[in-house]
């Protein structure tokens, strides 16, 4: 039987920034038998699209209906589809709970489209195996390609992006929730391993230890440390 393609419906919701349009579908919870709303996708703010027809035109322009239907064919979603859904609903959506910085978003989108799409874009997301990912990590590394390869630190970042894409896809029911369908699950559970050059280990300080260090510094250095802590300033040679 062919899977029904759902058009979805538009709904106004209240957000911190003002009223917004979302595109959603209504499904049936197989356990309770009750209707549930599945994965609302942000379309735009009402101030920018005052009528439902204008919001519908925007949803059509951005091809949001296709995103809405990614998870309807269980096991058939391609990696490119779940990654695009992650980009639209996690990286670029103003509705995300913990938004990333502009630079981080730019870096993630670039890595996804430059590296991940090139290798995995047309692969079925649930059929990508850990050993394939692990082998790919080595193939693109400097160990295999010399100076033309990627550092293991960069490859570790690619692995982290993969992990976030798969976590997003399973959280939104785009692919099956079983951990075995995540090729970058924890390595102790069979996920793809990644060699990393860094031996960095975070040192966690207690509040008394933190104040003891601050109090041991001259006033100017104390000010610099506090300023760095509250603003998130980073070291740069640029």
Return the CATH architecture of domain 73-197: Orthogonal Bundle (1.10)
Q: Please report where in the chains the tokens 């991940």 appear, as a residue.
A: 116
* Average pLDDT per block of 10 residues along the chain, 238 residues long: 58 83 70 61 88 88 70 67 89 82 91 93 92 95 93 93 94 87 92 72 80 90 86 63
What's the pLDDT score for residue 5?
45
The C-alpha atoms of residue 131 and residue 224 are separated, in whole angstroms, by: 46
Give the three-class secondary structure for 104.
helix
Residues with Cβ within 8 Å of residue 173, at least 6 apart in sequence: 38, 39, 71
What's the pLDDT score for residue 31?
44
What's the pLDDT score for residue 128?
94
What's the pLDDT score for residue 141?
94
What's the pLDDT score for residue 92?
85
What's the pLDDT score for residue 225?
86
For the chain, give every domain's residue range: 1-68, 73-197
What's the pLDDT score for residue 27?
63
What's the pLDDT score for residue 79?
93
Is 117:80 a contact under the CB 8 Å cutoff? yes
- Burial class of residue 70 (count of CB atoms within 10 Å of its CB; 0-12, 13-18, 19+): buried
- Burial class of residue 62 (count of CB atoms within 10 Å of its CB; 0-12, 13-18, 19+): middle
What's the pLDDT score for residue 4?
44
Strands (E), the chain: 9-15, 18-28, 35-45
- Burial class of residue 4 (count of CB atoms within 10 Å of its CB; 0-12, 13-18, 19+): exposed
């Amino acid at each position: 039987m062919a899977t029904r393609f759902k058009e979805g419906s538009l709904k106004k919701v209240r957000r911190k920034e003002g009223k917004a349009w979302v595109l959603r579908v209504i499904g049936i919870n197989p356990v309770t038998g009750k209707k549930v709303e599945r994965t609302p996708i942000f379309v735009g703010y009402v101030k920018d699209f005052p009528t439902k027809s204008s919001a519908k035109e925007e949803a059509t322009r951005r091809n949001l209906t296709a995103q809405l239907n990614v998870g309807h064919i269980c096991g058939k979603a391609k990696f490119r589809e779940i990654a695009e859904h992650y980009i639209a609903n996690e990286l670029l959506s103003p509705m995300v709970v913990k938004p990333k910085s502009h630079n981080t978003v730019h870096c993630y989108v670039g890595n996804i489209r430059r590296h991940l799409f090139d290798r995995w874009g047309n692969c079925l997301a649930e059929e990508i195996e850990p050993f394939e990912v692990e082998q790919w990590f080595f193939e693109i590394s400097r160990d295999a390609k010399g100076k033309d390869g990627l550092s293991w630190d960069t490859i570790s970042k690619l692995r982290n992006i993969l992990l976030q894409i798969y976590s997003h896809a399973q959280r939104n029911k785009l692919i099956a929730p079983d951990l075995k369908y995540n090729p970058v699950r924890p390595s102790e559970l069979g996920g793809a391993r990644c060699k990393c050059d860094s031996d960095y280990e975070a040192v966690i300080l207690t509040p008394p230890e933190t104040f003891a260090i601050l109090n041991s510094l001259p006033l100017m250095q104390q000010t610099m440390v506090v300023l760095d802590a509250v603003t998130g300033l980073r070291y740069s040679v640029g």
